[in-house]
Amino acid sequence: RSWNVVAGRDDICSHRDVTEYEYSSCRLTNQTSICNAGTCYDDVKFHSDLYALLRRELCIDEERVFMSGGSFGGLFSYYAPPRLRRLGSPLRPRAILPWYGAFYRHTLDVPKSLAGTSVFHFHGIMDTEVPMNSSESGDGYYYVPTIETLARYAQVNDCDRRPTPIFNKHDGHGKVKTGRLRGCVEWLGCSPRAPGGV
């Protein structure tokens, strides 16, 4: 693990089940916590500063900036966009693609300023490291259910209130009853600001 998403919080994990590890950055920045799972440096600010530098040196189509990551990178893909907006950063991802990422419990943050940001989320339903539901992960952390996060993105993008199932040849052809496959869903009717939808 490495990306800092919520340094110093003690309400995102089970104190009895988590293995405490403190990066030296957490001691240096005075953000120690039994729940720390990444560095405590401001990685969102780092990405913002790096993007500002690249913008000065390269021709970047700012309408086609996307963010993706797996596991802890998936968490970062959810945490970075709202924080970038609050920083006033020029880095504004048009869409995010988190692979088995989520918000930690008590940290869901999808402000109206993210209207126009599309989300394409992939997740394994048997994942115990970053579970899709609100159960405790194998290493003692709690997460916001994925469906709740996606519904919040749908809300800020003025999408339909309920998701619509998508069927394709790779989804088990409706064998969701087995409990081994959730299938795919999308929110329709989104604002033109979010043409890719949620």
pLDDT score of 102: 95
- DSSP letters for 64-116: G-EEEEETHHHHHHHHHHHHHHHHT-S---SEEEEES--PBTT-----GGGTT
pLDDT score of 22: 81
Joined tokens for residue 21:
């590890």
| Paired strand residues for 67 | 96
User: Which residues, 6 or more positions from 45, have their beta carbon under 8 angstroms from its beta carbon?
Assistant: 87
Q: What is the pLDDT of residues 90-123, one digit of tens each?
A: 999 999 999 999 999 999 999 999 999 999 999 9
Please give the angle made by the CA atoms of 97, 21 and 43, to the nearest 5 degrees.
40
First to last CA, the chain: 27
Ordered structural domains, the chain, with CATH: 24-186 (3.40.50)
pLDDT score of 191: 86
Joined tokens for residue 15:
């104190």
pTM of the complete model: 0.89
Q: What is the pLDDT of residues 132-161, one digit of tens each?
A: 887 899 999 999 999 999 999 999 999 999
Q: What is the pLDDT of residues 8-32, one digit of tens each?
A: 999 999 999 998 888 899 999 999 9
Among 97, 90, 87, 89, which Cα is nearest to 150's? 97
**Mean pLDDT for the chain?**
89
User: Which residues, 6 or more positions from 79, have their beta carbon under 8 angstroms from its beta carbon?
Assistant: 5, 6, 44, 103, 107, 109
Q: Judge whether residue 176 has pLDDT over 80.
A: no
pLDDT score of 98: 96
| Paired strand residues for 166 | 184
Q: What is the pLDDT of residues 57-98, one digit of tens each?
A: 999 999 999 999 999 999 999 999 999 999 999 999 999 999
pLDDT score of 173: 54
Amino acid in the structure at residue 56: R
- For the chain, the 3-state helix, strand and coil shares in percent, each to the nearest 5, are 30, 15, 60
pLDDT score of 188: 93
Joined tokens for residue 107:
């940290």
